[in-house]
Amino acid sequence: MDSLKSLYERVFSVNENSFDALALDIFKAQYEMNPVYSAFVNCLGVSPELVTKLEQIPFLPIEFFKIHTIKTGNWQSGICYESSGTTGQITSKHWVADEQFYLKIAEQIFAKTYGEVKDYTVLALLPSYLERSNSSLVAMANRFIQISTDPSSGFFLNNSKELYDTLLRCKNEGRKTILLGVTFGLLDFVEQFQIDFPELIVMETGGMKGRREELVRDEVHEILKPGFGVQHIHSEYGMTELLSQGYSQGNGIFRCGYTMKLLTRDINDPLTVTNQVRSGGINIIDLANLHSCSFIETKDLGRVHPDGTFEVLGRLDNSDVRGCNLMVG
């Protein structure tokens, strides 16, 4: 990992002006040091020395995390985040060289959006994730809970009454409070309890996974807002294959973390990538994925706005899965 050290330091100090140059340097390093990504780039017939702007960088289909070990550099780690899935389903695995690197970036992204984590009471309602020991979301929530100076911060599994009592106490004591919750858990909670806590930040992380009837985000938010007495429901955009997060402070409009940028691709021609205002498949540059792959072609459909904010419009089907047949064999 020695040759990645200078890039490692640059990730923490990156800003809007230096983002593109760092992304291009990471592309070159990952082409040289990531066998799977290098093979993918070669398979597309792309010459790395001719790549001079972000739109020319090949984006690795997210399915590769299900069938390959995606590593940049020669390192060993016991940390592997894994996506949730039904029995027998192939899940994504994201090997992480340095968990502290991920957690520090997650903390900084949150702080740039909401202020210092230590100033919040952090309540995490993540039942399905807590049942697994290798969730990146649980690792992030656990770090936030540890940083919080309020001993009331913590995880809640199925103890809705305890969560309600904690929320009531936070409200009465005027504490800055964030409730980070998986969607079905938040819906289950408001079916049992209602609270009028306008200052509360309710942040849904997505995730129904067959636990409830699928609802679109607007429908979920219209149920949750009166249940918590808030005007907006916040959202987190993240996934196992990414180490950066985007946050929405309402109305489904997300802003990328400082280590992250979205581009869109033509759903009929996934090699056509643009940073112009348009709808299409979401491609993500995640500089925090320094030790895996920073250029991910997701299965989400979205719209990117001129100011860099974005909306998630839904999921794409499997008709555009590509990548030399995922280089199987």
- pLDDT above 70 for 145: yes
Domain covering 99-248 assigned CATH 3.40.50.980 in the classification: yes
* Integer Cα distance of 178 and 245 in angstroms: 16
Q: What is the pLDDT of residues 155-182, one digit of tens each?
A: 998 789 999 999 999 999 999 999 999 9
- Quote the pLDDT of residue 100: 95
Q: What is the pLDDT of residues 27-48, one digit of tens each?
A: 999 999 999 999 999 999 999 9
Domain ranges of the chain: 4-79+259-318, 99-248
* Integer Cα distance of 27 and 90 in angstroms: 27
* Integer Cα distance of 312 and 328 in angstroms: 30
Give me 80's structure tokens.
């592997």
Residues 242 and 296 sit within 8 Å (Cβ to Cβ): yes
Predicted confidence band at 276 (pLDDT cuts at 50, 70, 90)?
low
Neighbouring-strand partners of residue 203: 180, 234
Q: Return the minimum-mean-pLDDT range out of 8-22, 25-39, 166-180, 303-317.
A: 303-317
Residues 94 and 81 sit within 8 Å (Cβ to Cβ): yes
- Quote the pLDDT of residue 21: 96
- Quote the pLDDT of residue 269: 64
Q: What is the pLDDT of residues 192-221, one digit of tens each?
A: 999 999 999 999 987 655 454 566 778 889
Closest CA to 125 of 236, 290, 257: 236
Ranked by mean pLDDT, the top range of 123-127, 208-212, 256-260 is 256-260
- Quote the pLDDT of residue 83: 87
Residues 310 and 256 sit within 8 Å (Cβ to Cβ): yes
* Integer Cα distance of 269 and 252 in angstroms: 27
Provide the 8-state DSSP code for 18. T
Give mean pLDDT, residues 144-160: 92
Give me 265's structure tokens.
């691709």
Q: pTM value?
A: 0.90
* Integer Cα distance of 224 and 95 in angstroms: 35
- Quote the pLDDT of residue 274: 61
- 113 contacts: CB under 8 Å, gap ≥ 6: 247, 249, 255, 257
Percentage with pLDDT > 70 across the chain: 87
Neighbouring-strand partners of residue 181: 125, 204
CA 277 to each of CA 47, 141, 261, 303, 308: distance values in angstroms, whole numbers, following the listed order: 27, 33, 14, 7, 9
Which residue in the block uniquely carries the two structure tokens 């806590």?
A: 197
- Quote the pLDDT of residue 89: 76
- Quote the pLDDT of residue 52: 95
Give me 283's structure tokens.
């491609």
- Which SS3 state, helix, strand or coil, does residue 211 take? coil
- Which SS3 state, helix, strand or coil, does residue 65 take? helix
* Integer Cα distance of 28 and 37 in angstroms: 11
Q: What is the pLDDT of residues 75-101, one digit of tens each?
A: 998 899 998 765 567 889 999 999 999
